[in-house]
Chain A
C-alpha cells in the first residue's frame, strides 16, 4: 500500500454565518486521483482551498505526509510550495511572459538560478505543447493555452500533490479536451491529484475514487464504476440524473 499524502479529519469551514464544510473526512494516497463532484456551492472549491491553506479552517485537522499543517506556527509557505493548485479562472500573472509566470515560483521560492529555472520551465512547456509560447503574454493565448500554462506553472514547483479547481469550467467547449488531456498525462505519470470537476465523463475515466459532496459533507465515496452506475445515496442519484438530463455525461 502506498503512503498517505493527505488526510483530512472533521474539517469545518464557515464564511460568516454560512457553513460551507460540515465535517469532511478524506484520505488520499500517493498516485491516487480523487475527483470531487457535486452541485455548485457544495463545498468542492472551498475544500481544495483549505488543503492549500488559502482559507483558514474553523475545526478539524489536515495532515500532509502525516504532518498536521493546521497547527499554529506551521510555515504555510513551506506547505504550499509542495502543493500545486490550478484555478478555474487560470489566474496567470498578466504582466509577465509565459516563461516568467512559470519561473516565478522556482526562482523566488526555491531560489533556483534564472538559467536553471528557465531550462526547467522550457522543458515542461515543450512537454505540454507550449514551447512556442514562451515569450508570449497571457492575453495573447487562448483559454485552453492559458490553463495549460497555469498547470505548467504549478508543476514547475515539482509538487507532491496537485489540486485542480474546476479547471475547464471557464473554457469554451472546444478547448476543454486539450486541458483534460494534460491532466490525463499527469495521472498516467503517477501525480497525486484532487480534482473538483463538472466533467462527469472525464471523472469516470480518470478517477480512482469519486467523492460526491452535498451541502458541505462527503455523502458518497467510492470507485467511479460504482458511484456512476449504482450510487447508494438518493441525493447522488438525483444529482447524476440532473447531470445526464443536462447532457453533461
Chain B
C-alpha cells in the first residue's frame, strides 16, 4: 500500500492513529466543557433569586442603551492611561538607572529611589490618589492645578512608575556582567555601556512584564473616579443609581475586556516566545 505522498504505508498508519487520538481528545474537551458550564449555568439559573439577578445585572435592553454612553465616557480612561503609560515608561527607566548607579557617591540617590519605589508600591493606589488629588491639590499653591484629570494622571504615574522601575531594574540586573565588561573593554564609559549595550537588551527582556503592568494600569483608571472625574466607571455608577439597575457595570466590564484581552493575549504570546527562545538558546 502506498500513501498519496508516495511514502510507504507504515508511517501513515502511525500518524493516522495519532490523528485519531487528537480527534478523541478534542471530543473529550468539548464534552467536558459543555458538561462543566451546563452544570454551573443550571445551578445559577435554577437558584431562587435568579429572575431578580437577571433583571438587575443582565438586562439586554439596558445594556445596549447604556453601552454607547459609557463607551464615550471611556475615552477619558483611554486618554488617562495613554498619557500615563508614556510617562511611566520614561520615568520608570530613569528611576531604575538611578537605582543601579554604583559607588558610595550615589548612595543618597539610590536611597531616594529605593524609598520612592517602596512607598508607592506599599500604599494602596486609592490612598495615593486621595492624598495627592485632595491633599496636594487642596493646598492651593499658586500655579499648581487642581484639575482632577491632572492629579489622576500624576497619581497613577507615580504608582505605576514605582512598579515599572522594579521591572526595568530586574531586566538590567539580568544582563550578564560580561556584556558590560565587553563594552567597557572597547573604551565605552559606564553610561555608554548602559545606554548602548545593557538597557537595549534589558528592555527587550522585560516587555512581557511591562505589558502586564499596563493591563493593571488600564484597569486602575477607574479608581480616579473618586476624585470626582466623570470617566467610564463614574458614568456607569451615575446611570446605575438613576435606573436602579446594575447592567451598566456589565457594559463597562465588556468594554474593559475588549481593551485588555488583546493585550493579555499578546503578553502571553511574548512570554511563550521568550521561553521557546530561551530553551533554543540553552540547547
* With A89-B178, A139-B281 as contacts: A54 and B196 at CB distance below 8 Å: no
Instruction: Judge if B182 is at the interface, Cβ distance under 8 Å.
Output: yes
**Shortest distance between the CB of B278 and any CB in chain A (Å):** 12
Instruction: Judge if A78 is at the interface, Cβ distance under 8 Å.
Output: yes
Among A89, A94, A153, A154, the most chain B Cβ lie within 10 Å of the Cβ of A94
> What separation, in Å, do the CA atoms of A54 and B204 have in the docked complex?
27
Listed A/B pairs (12) with beta-carbon separation below 8 Å: A78-B187, A81-B186, A81-B187, A84-B185, A85-B185, A87-B182, A91-B181, A92-B182, A93-B183, A94-B201, A104-B183, A157-B187
B185 near A77 (CB under 8 angstroms)? no
B-side residues, CB < 8 A to A, are: 178-179, 181-189, 192, 196-197, 200-201, 204, 281
A54 near B188 (CB under 8 angstroms)? no
Among A81, A93, A139, A153, the most chain B Cβ lie within 10 Å of the Cβ of A93
- Taking CB atoms, residues of chain B closer than 8 Å to A85 are 185
Instruction: Judge if A108 is at the interface, Cβ distance under 8 Å.
Output: yes
Give the tally of cross-chain contacts (CB within 8 A): 57
A104 near B185 (CB under 8 angstroms)? no
> What separation, in Å, do the CA atoms of A157 and B183 have in the docked complex?
12
Question: Within the complex, which residue of A84, A93, A109, A153 is in contact with B197, where a contact is CB–CB below 8 Å?
Answer: A93
Q: Beyond the given A54-B184, A105-B188, could you list 5 further A-B residue pairs with CB under 8 A, ordered by the A residue number?
A: A77-B187, A87-B181, A93-B182, A104-B196, A105-B186
> What separation, in Å, do the CA atoms of A105 and B204 have in the docked complex?
22
> What separation, in Å, do the CA atoms of A153 and B196 have in the docked complex?
15
Among B179, B182, B189, the most chain A Cβ lie within 10 Å of the Cβ of B182
Question: Within the complex, which residue of A80, A84, A92 is in contact with B184, where a contact is CB–CB below 8 Å?
Answer: A80
* With A104-B196, A139-B281 as contacts: A52 and B185 at CB distance below 8 Å: yes
Instruction: Judge if A95 is at the interface, Cβ distance under 8 Å.
Output: yes
B186 near A153 (CB under 8 angstroms)? yes
**Shortest distance between the CB of B181 and any CB in chain A (Å):** 6
> What separation, in Å, do the CA atoms of A93 and B189 have in the docked complex?
16
Residue of B nearest to A52 (CB): B185
Question: Within the complex, which residue of A78, A81, A91 is in contact with B182, where a contact is CB–CB below 8 Å?
Answer: A91
- Taking CB atoms, residues of chain B closer than 8 Å to A87 are 178, 181-182
Determine chain B's interface SS by DSSP, over half rule: helix
> What separation, in Å, do the CA atoms of A241 and B184 have in the docked complex?
38
B204 near A95 (CB under 8 angstroms)? yes
**Shortest distance between the CB of A104 and any CB in chain B (Å):** 6
* With A93-B197, A108-B192, A108-B196 as contacts: A54 and B181 at CB distance below 8 Å: yes
Per-position binary interface string of chain A over residues 97-137, scored 1 when its CB falls under 8 Å from any chain B CB and 0 otherwise: 00000001100110000000000000000000000000000
Residue of A nearest to B186 (CB): A105
Which residues of A from 47 to 88 have beta carbons under 8 Å from B? 52, 54, 77-78, 80-81, 83-85, 87
- Taking CB atoms, residues of chain B closer than 8 Å to A91 are 178-179, 181-182
* With A108-B192, A109-B188 as contacts: A95 and B200 at CB distance below 8 Å: yes
**Shortest distance between the CB of A110 and any CB in chain B (Å):** 8
B178 near A157 (CB under 8 angstroms)? no
B200 near A104 (CB under 8 angstroms)? no
- Taking CB atoms, residues of chain A closer than 8 Å to B188 are 77, 104-105, 108-109
- Taking CB atoms, residues of chain B closer than 8 Å to A94 are 201
Give 3 nearest A-B pairs by CB, closest first: A81-B187, A105-B186, A91-B182
Residue of A nearest to B197 (CB): A93
Residue of B nearest to A150 (CB): B182
**Shortest distance between the CB of B58 and any CB in chain A (Å):** 50
A80 near B181 (CB under 8 angstroms)? no
* With A87-B178, A91-B178, A91-B182 as contacts: A80 and B187 at CB distance below 8 Å: yes
> What separation, in Å, do the CA atoms of A77 and B183 have in the docked complex?
10
**Shortest distance between the CB of A59 and any CB in chain B (Å):** 22
